[in-house]
Structure 1
Amino acid sequence: MNKRLIYIILLSIIWFTIPSNAFAEDQLDIKAKSALLMDYHTGEIIYEKNPHEKLPPASISKIMTLLLGMEALETRKINLSDEVRISAYAAGMGGSQLWLEEGETQTVEDLFKSITIRSANDASVALAEYIAGSEEVFVRMMNEKAKALGMNNTNFVNASGLPNENHYVSAYDVALMSAELLKHEEIHNWLTVYMDEMLVGKNKDKIQSLVNTNRLIKEYEGTTGIKTGSTKEAGYCLAASAKRDNLQLISVIMGSETSKIRFDESMKLLDYGFANYDSITIGKKGDVLGKVQVHKGNISYIEAALEKDSYILLPKGKEANISKEILLPEYMESPIEKRQEIGHLIVKIDGDEVDKIKLVSKVSVDKAGFKEMFKKTLKNFLINK
């Protein structure tokens, strides 16, 4: 009886300490070489299958091309209205394309649109050349960004995803760059467009229809993107995202045998996430959580605001003791820059730290001049008299 009791206790311990995604792996049986389901807000992995295997990504590579494009837009290196001349090299791309002609011009906005909707290789290379001067330099930027994001099983050789034995990405890395792309609000203008059209050619006398390669935007509730890919080498791939209420998920399917399978398996992953998890809002970017006194500044106090949104991921039906701790100094010396780090919000579940978000100054503070210091001194004197 003692041996049996010990066996039951050990079995219970094993059952309750196995990570929750291990059960998902047993239940889902995803038909792909590699797959992953990630919570967008926290980066927590809900499901994984060979997540770090290096695989050919096909056009999923364009997620990085789009990401660098969005960064160039936001730093004003490029503008949506800029006219881009199409090079012979870009016009000569194979695979999925718009059939752009050497010497024609297209706006940056139309290049973004054709990459996100049509997955056009020629548009991808044209955008890369416009941003970096050449695809070769742009590819170096892609790999540098990948390294900065912690994409440790990735190597890009081109901006389009055309087959090359040294061009590979893991499912986990795809999720990382997908989450980074989704942070840019403007990209959402194109990710869920199902149909559009463009005029192409030097004389703009040809109409190219754009039909989104991601059919989930029509078939799956809450879909927000992102990108398909397929070649003989890569099989059928899909990085998908969907949002319902606070919960936003990213699923990655790589190496499926058919296009139908990649969409079915993506929906299976997303269904599992939405059925079993909730996203709890702790705070939103810009929320003021406290004040800090300023010494020798042109203002007396600064507000401490959340640098970014804060969420936690919880299994549905699970009760948890959520606590928050605000760490701020008693005072700070001027000058202080706008968005300068001045403290932290610590989020804990059942006493364990699960998130740490910077608190930043909402305004900049200059050193106080002589008149301001005199007024403050006089005011304090009168108040304390």
Structure 2
Amino acid sequence: MKRVSALLLVLVLLCPAADAAGPSTSAASAILIDGGSGRVLYAQNADEERPIASITKLMTALVAVECHPELSDVVTIRSEWTGIEGSSMYLKAGEKLTLEALLYGLLLVSGNDAATAIAGYCAGDSETFAAWMNEKAAQLGMEHSRFTNPSGLNEEGHYSTAADMARLARAVLEHETLARIVSTRSVSVAGRSLTNHNKLLWQYEGCTGLKTGYTEAAGRTLVSSAERDGQTLIAVTLNDRNDWADHAALFDYGFAGYPNTMLALAGRAVSAVPVSGSLCRFVPVETVSDVYYPLTEGERVEAKIELPQAVTAPVQAGETAGQLVFTLDGEVIGETELVYNQSVSDDRAGPGLLEGLLNRLRGGA
């Protein structure tokens, strides 16, 4: 049987409380989330379905690397993949490039030809690839998104939301190769010098990517991320004429008002469980992993320790004992396993308890 003990932690942070309204933006839709936990720190029409332009290419890149992880493979460019309208990396028919080079052209200079080539190489055609994009969107819980092409060019039925694009950005940043590419300021690949369109990489300290977009129908769209003191924030704005400044303001708001707060550290003893069948009366338990969560001033976190009423020897160090669960307003915000941090022998199998104790006091076996 498990015993559950609960204690209420009132975290008084040495930072100003977040402004409940958050910063004002010029965007039709906007969102700011904590990248580690997914907590929404600011939202404005975040579930409103809108055209998204070239930030579409984040999904194109994610689907490409998941369905074809060998990025060193060489792609021969077909004529139908060239001359696509809009932004371009200027591919030529018959040219040979690695898939990785195409991803740089896709994500740094927003090449619509690169998007078409990637889709054609991976799936055979853009229509099939778009279906794969929609399957991935469903897996990520992007319930208000639909993709009809890999580039983001205006097309009826092609849309997403700020909230859904933030979910996508989290998935992209979890992929090591894509995180490296979207954070690249400039690179020379396939005989081309490519410079990232994301000016925040130069303008905002700690910016780590991701992607810009623009069409007349969508306006300026931007998905960006920034890291400070181990905390990553993700901002998305749709149809925002002042997106560079708005993203900087959103990041400043998030880092100042919702710092990543330590709730538990790995390897810390938090309790002990009574032991029967051993000279050792209690066995300590410790946390397995760190737990952090973005909190603003005055928020109250409840910690519940779930452990057995008692355990019978033998006990092996490292065995799972229970868990430590943190909740905020009734919602689970973090948890870590609890394990026994030492082994306990079964003293019933050898000499009597008294004899065993005397042996130990004498230094015997």
Higher helix share: 1
Q: 2:90 aligns with which of 80, 86, 99?
A: 99
Matched, 1:323 2:318: no
Counterpart of 1:241 in structure 2 is: 225
Deviates more, 1:124-133 or 1:319-328: 319-328
Counterpart of 1:227 in structure 2 is: 211
| Contact 1:36 1:251 (8 Å CA) reproduced | yes
Q: Distance in 2 between matches of 1:246 and 1:283?
A: 15
Counterpart of 2:53 in structure 1 is: 58
| Contact 2:293 2:334 (8 Å CA) reproduced | no
Measured against aligned partners, the alpha-carbon deviations of 1:329-356 in whole angstroms (never above 9, x if no partner) come to 999xxxxxxxxx9975421348x44325
Matched, 1:348 2:348: no
The residue type paired with residue 155 of structure 2 is: N
| Contact 1:21 1:48 (8 Å CA) reproduced | no
- Offset at residue 46 of structure 1 (A): 1.3
Q: 1:162 aligns with which of 139, 153, 157?
A: 153
Q: Distance in 2 between matches of 1:123 and 1:285?
A: 44
Measured against aligned partners, the alpha-carbon deviations of 1:106-152 in whole angstroms (never above 9, x if no partner) come to 10111122222111111122222222232211111111111121111
Q: TM-score, normalised by structure 1?
A: 0.71
* SS in structure 2 of the partner of residue 68 of structure 1: helix
- Offset at residue 359 of structure 1 (A): 5.2
Q: Bigger relative contact order, structure 1 or 2, given CA contacts below 8 A and separation 6+?
A: 2
The residue type paired with residue 181 of structure 2 is: W
Q: Distance in 2 between matches of 1:78 and 1:49?
A: 36
Q: Distance in 2 between matches of 1:164 and 1:118?
A: 21
- Offset at residue 304 of structure 1 (A): 11
Q: Distance in 1 between matches of 2:293 and 2:228?
A: 15
Counterpart of 1:212 in structure 2 is: 196
The sequence identity of aligned pairs, in percent, is: 35
CA-atom RMSD in angstroms: 3.4
Counterpart of 1:264 in structure 2 is: 245
Aligned pairs, number? 311
Q: Distance in 2 between matches of 1:178 and 1:327?
A: 37
Matched, 1:24 2:21: yes
Structure 1: 5+ residue stretches without partners = 1-19, 200-206, 291-302, 332-340, 362-378
Q: 1:144 aligns with which of 127, 135, 138?
A: 135
Matched, 1:49 2:30: no
Counterpart of 2:3 in structure 1 is: none
Mark the CA change 1:134 to 1:193 in structure 2 (over 3 Å): closer, same or farther. same
Measured against aligned partners, the alpha-carbon deviations of 1:142-164 in whole angstroms (never above 9, x if no partner) come to 11111121111111001111111
| Contact 1:246 1:280 (8 Å CA) reproduced | no
The residue type paired with residue 186 of structure 1 is: T
| Contact 1:230 1:236 (8 Å CA) reproduced | yes
- Offset at residue 243 of structure 1 (A): 0.9
Mark the CA change 1:132 to 1:344 in structure 2 (over 3 Å): closer, same or farther. farther
Q: Distance in 2 between matches of 1:79 and 1:129?
A: 16
Mark the CA change 1:327 to 1:97 in structure 2 (over 3 Å): closer, same or farther. farther
Deviates more, 1:234-243 or 1:271-280: 271-280
Correspondences of 1:162-311 after superposition (within 5 Å): 162-199=153-190, 207-257=191-241, 261-282=242-263, 310-311=291-292
Q: Distance in 1 between matches of 2:303 and 2:200?
A: 37
- Offset at residue 95 of structure 1 (A): 1.0
Q: Distance in 2 between matches of 1:173 and 1:62?
A: 14
- Offset at residue 53 of structure 1 (A): 1.0
Q: Distance in 1 between matches of 2:269 and 2:59?
A: 34
- Offset at residue 29 of structure 1 (A): 2.1
Mark the CA change 1:134 to 1:218 in structure 2 (over 3 Å): closer, same or farther. same
* SS in structure 2 of the partner of residue 256 of structure 1: coil
Matched, 1:312 2:293: yes
- Offset at residue 22 of structure 1 (A): 8.1
| Contact 1:342 1:358 (8 Å CA) reproduced | no
The residue type paired with residue 41 of structure 1 is: G
| Contact 1:90 1:125 (8 Å CA) reproduced | yes
Deviates more, 1:278-287 or 1:180-189: 278-287
Q: Distance in 1 between matches of 2:176 and 2:309?
A: 34
| Contact 1:325 1:347 (8 Å CA) reproduced | no
* SS in structure 2 of the partner of residue 23 of structure 1: coil
| Contact 2:172 2:179 (8 Å CA) reproduced | no
Measured against aligned partners, the alpha-carbon deviations of 1:8-53 in whole angstroms (never above 9, x if no partner) come to xxxxxxxxxxxx988325xx22101111111111211111111111
The residue type paired with residue 347 of structure 1 is: F
Measured against aligned partners, the alpha-carbon deviations of 1:215-251 in whole angstroms (never above 9, x if no partner) come to 1111101111111001111111110100111321111
Counterpart of 1:71 in structure 2 is: 66
Q: Distance in 1 between matches of 2:26 and 2:244?
A: 11
| Contact 1:57 1:254 (8 Å CA) reproduced | yes
Structure number with larger C-alpha Rg: 2
Structure 2: 5+ residue stretches without partners = 1-16, 272-284, 312-319, 340-345, 353-365
* SS in structure 1 of the partner of residue 172 of structure 2: helix
Counterpart of 1:368 in structure 2 is: none
